[in-house]
Amino acid sequence: MDLGQIAARTPGRPAVVMAGSGRVVTYRELDEESNRLARLFHAAGLRPGDHIALLLENHPLFLAVTWAAQRSGLYYTAVGTRLGADEAAYIVDDCGALAFVTSAALAGVAAPAAERAPRVRLRLMLDGTAPGFASYEESTAAFPPLPLDRELEGADMLYSSGTTGRPKGVKPPLPDVPFGTPGPLYQLVSLLFPPGEDAVYLSPAPLYHAAPLRYSMAFQRFGATVVVQEKFDPEASLAAVERYGVTHSQWVPTMFVRMLKLPEDVRTRYDVSTLRYAIHAAAPCPVPVKRRMLEWWGPILHEYYAGTEGNCFVYASPEDWLAHPGTVGRPLLGQVHVCDDDGRELPPGTDGTLYFGDGPAFAYHGDPAGTAAARDPGGRGWTTLGDIGHVDADGFVYLTDRRAYTIISGGVNVYPQEAENVLVVHPKVADAAVFGIPDAEMGEAVHAVVQPADPSAAGPELAAELIAHCRDRLAHYKCPRSVDFRTELPRHPTGKLLKRLLRDEYRPS
C-alpha cells in the first residue's frame, strides 16, 4: 500500500510521534508534506535516478523528506549527525547529491559541508535559515500537496558507519516499479514480525542509520505509528513503551545493557506488556545480557544479522536462540561460508571470515578496492561484511568479532569481543572496549578501556579486579593485560563501538 492510500484511509492516525516533545505528524500530514517536497525536487530538475542527501537530527519531518525521495524514484542518503563538516561534505559530494536538506540545529556542520559539495543545486533548511540555504517551509509551501503525475519507487543509498575506516556508500539498483510496490523488507516484516492494525513501532536510535530508517518506513507502509526517540535514554524508552502501547521495537545490545543496569525499582515501574516483538541487531549480544532480557520481557526477542550492503539476512527466533545460545540465527537470505585467509572453507565450529553466496551482489560506490576486498579470494562471488564467526552442526551462525579488530598476540588470534562481553556484565562497568596495542615481545598485547559505572572507582584496584574477573571466565591469553579508564567511550549513536578511534591513540603516529 502506498502512502496516499494509507492517508486516505486513516488521515488522522499518527504516522510519527516524537517521544520527547510529543509532536505528532499524521498520515495526512506526512503524505501532503512528502508530496510538496517531491514536487519541489521535480521543479528543481531532479528526475528518477538522481540523488538527494539529508543531514537531520531525529526530526518530526525526517521521514517526510525520505518519503518525498522514495515516491519520486530518487536515491537518498542520510548523513550521520555526529560527523564533522569534512566528513559530511565527503558523503554529500561522493553520493552525487543534487539537493541537500538539513535543519538550523545542524547549520554549523551543514553550511560548510554544502560549500564543499558543488553539485548541490537545491539547499533547504528546516526551522530557520543560514547563508546559502532556502527556507524549507517557505519553499515547500509554494507547491500543492498532490502526488507527482508519475510516481516510482526510489531507494536509499546509505554509507557504512565508518567504524573501521572511511564510510563506504552502497548504491543498489533502482527497482523501476510504481510507488507502492512492496519491497523485500516489507515482505520480511510481514513474515517475521507481522504488524496488526494497532501496530506501534518504537525507534530509539538515530534515523540516519540503515535499520531505524528502513524499518520505520517499512512499518509505515503497514499504516503503523512510528514513535521516534529524539535520543536514546533507557528509562525514557521504557516510559515510551508504556505511554504509547508499543507493540514492535528495535534495539542494539548496548541499549539492553543500559536498561538492565537501571535500578530494579525503575525497571519494574513501567508496563511493557504491550510489546510483541523486540528486534535487535547491529552487534553480538552477550549471552548473559540476552538471558536477562528474555527473563524480563519474555520470549519476544528476535535477532538478526545483516548489513547496509544487503547481501544476507540471518535470523534467530526466541526459540532458536534458547536452543542455541549465542547464535544470531540461520540465513534466510544468502548461503553462509566460513573461510580462512586463503579462502578455504572451514568445518563447523571453526572461526573464520563469514562470506555469503547466492544473495544480492553489492558494490561500494566509487570504491573498487573496497568492493574487491569484500569478495572472497577464491573468486566464487561470495561477499563479506567483514565479520569473524563460525557455524555449528545445525547451520546456526555465531559472531566472534570484526575481522579488522582481531588481535595477533604471540602469533595467536584473539577476538576482543569475548573479553568485552565478559567485562560489560560486571556490575562496576558501564561500557568496555578491548583491542590490541603494540608490544615489543608479543607483537600486540590485549588492552581494555573501561567506562566505570562510578567514575570515582577508576584506578589500579578496579583494573586488577576486572582483569581477574576476565581470567575467571576466559583463557588468560584472551584477557586484558592492562586497563585504562574513560568517562565515556566513543560509540556511534546506533550502538556500534568506534574502537578504531581508541586503538589509534595507542599506535605510533
Q: What is the DSSP string of 49-106?
A: T-EEEEE--S-TTHHHHHHHHHTBT-EEEEPPTT--HHHHHHHHHHTT-SEEEEEGGG
Quick one: pLDDT at residue 494?
Answer: 65
Residue partners of 291: CB distance under 8 A and separation at least 6: 325
Contact 6, 32 (CB under 8 A): no
Same domain, yes or no: 379 and 473: no
Residue 211 within any structural domain of the chain: no
Same domain, yes or no: 341 and 479: no
Residue 189 within any structural domain of the chain: no
Q: What is the DSSP string of 25-57?
A: EEHHHHHHHHHHHHHHHHHTT--TT-EEEEE--
Same domain, yes or no: 414 and 386: no
CATH number of the domain residue 399 falls in = 2.30.38.10
Residue 129 within any structural domain of the chain: yes
164: closest CA among 307, 20, 279?
307
Residue 323 within any structural domain of the chain: no
Quick one: pLDDT at residue 106?
Answer: 97
Supply the angle between the helices 253-260 and 287-297 in degrees, to the nearest 10. Answer: 70
For 75, phi then psi, to 5°, come to -85, 145
Domain count, the chain: 3
CATH number of the domain residue 82 falls in = 3.40.50.980
Quick one: pLDDT at residue 304?
Answer: 96
What's this model's pTM, rounded to 2 decimal places?
Answer: 0.86
Same domain, yes or no: 77 and 171: yes
CATH number of the domain residue 438 falls in = 3.30.300.30
Domain boundary residue among 178, 196, 211? 178
Same domain, yes or no: 81 and 98: yes
Residue 451 within any structural domain of the chain: yes
Quick one: pLDDT at residue 289?
Answer: 92
Neighbours of 446 (CB within 10 A): 24
pLDDT mean values, one per 10 residues, the chain (509 residues): 93 98 98 98 98 98 98 97 89 96 97 93 97 97 97 94 70 94 94 95 95 97 98 96 98 91 95 97 87 97 92 96 96 94 93 92 87 89 92 94 81 85 94 90 89 95 96 91 94 75 82
Place of cell 567506562: 451
Place of cell 528502513: 214
- The grid coordinates of residue 448 equal 581494555
Quick one: pLDDT at residue 501?
Answer: 85
Quick one: pLDDT at residue 47?
Answer: 98
Same domain, yes or no: 353 and 387: yes
Same domain, yes or no: 66 and 168: yes
Same domain, yes or no: 354 and 436: no
Same domain, yes or no: 363 and 430: no
Task: Tell me the per-residue pLDDT of 346-399, one tens digit each, with 9 for 90 and over.
Answer: 999 999 999 999 988 888 998 888 889 899 888 899 999 989 999 999 999 998
Write out the residue range of the structural domain in which residue 339 sits. Answer: 335-405
Same domain, yes or no: 72 and 161: yes
Using alpha carbons only, give the angle 488, 493, 494 rounded to the nearest 5 degrees. Answer: 125
Contact 314, 299 (CB under 8 A): no
Residue type, 407: I
Same domain, yes or no: 35 and 114: yes
118: closest CA among 103, 132, 105, 102?
132
Residue type, 293: M
Task: Tell me the per-residue pLDDT of 134-145, one tens digit each, with 9 for 90 and over.
Answer: 999 999 999 999
Place of cell 518530526: 60
Residue 126 within any structural domain of the chain: yes
| Residues recorded for the chain | 509
Residue 394 within any structural domain of the chain: yes
Same domain, yes or no: 398 and 436: no
Domain boundary residue among 162, 178, 194? 178
Contact 450, 423 (CB under 8 A): yes
Quick one: pLDDT at residue 490?
Answer: 87
Domain boundary residue among 178, 195, 225? 178
- Please tell me the distance from the alpha carbon of residue 188 to that of residue 218, in angstroms, as a whole number: 10
Residue 480 within any structural domain of the chain: yes
Place of cell 510516481: 151
Contact 235, 229 (CB under 8 A): no
